[in-house]
């Protein structure tokens, strides 16, 4: 059984027991998280597709860790104009462990 969920404007295919990295969510390590934006649920022979979301369906998980991703360097320059700008960015993330999919 698996589900397709949406969080942080991205979609993820999850099953029970999966560990995924998603955009930063509020909460502390060990907190339970409910994701109500379920787009699709697939059981053995049955598939439920939402329009756009499935009502009364949710995915329950817990926060395993939070952190920042790898640093990305943004460098702009214009030749012969002495224009240079260097910036860095580290995207915050939350690691979730999926505990159950509720229909």
Give the tens place of pLDDT for each residue, 62-88.
Answer: 999 999 999 999 999 999 999 999 999
- Cα–Cα dist 97/6, whole Å: 15
Write out 34-98 in H/E/C secondary structure.
EECCEEEEECCCCEEECCCCCCCCEEEEEEEEEEECCCEEEEEEECCCCEEEEEEECCEEEEEEE
User: Quick check: 103 pLDDT over 90?
Assistant: no
Give the tens place of pLDDT for each residue, 21-69.
Answer: 999 999 999 999 999 999 999 998 999 999 999 999 999 999 999 999 9
- Cα–Cα dist 81/100, whole Å: 57
pTM exceeds 0.85: no
> For residue 76, is the peptide bond before it cis, meaning its omega torsion is within 30 degrees of 0?
no
């Amino acid at each position: 059984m698996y589900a397709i969920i949406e969080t942080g404007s991205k979609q993820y295919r999850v099953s029970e027991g999966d560990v995924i990295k998603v955009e930063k969510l509020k909460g502390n390590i060990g907190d339970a998280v409910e994701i109500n934006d379920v787009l699709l649920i697939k059981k053995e022979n049955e598939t439920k597709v939402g329009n756009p979301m499935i009502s009364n369906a949710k995915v329950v998980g817990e926060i395993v860790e939070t952190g920042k991703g790898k640093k990305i360097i943004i460098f702009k320059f214009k030749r012969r104009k002495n224009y240079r700008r260097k910036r860095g960015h580290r995207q915050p993330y939350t690691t979730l462990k999926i505990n159950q999919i509720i229909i």
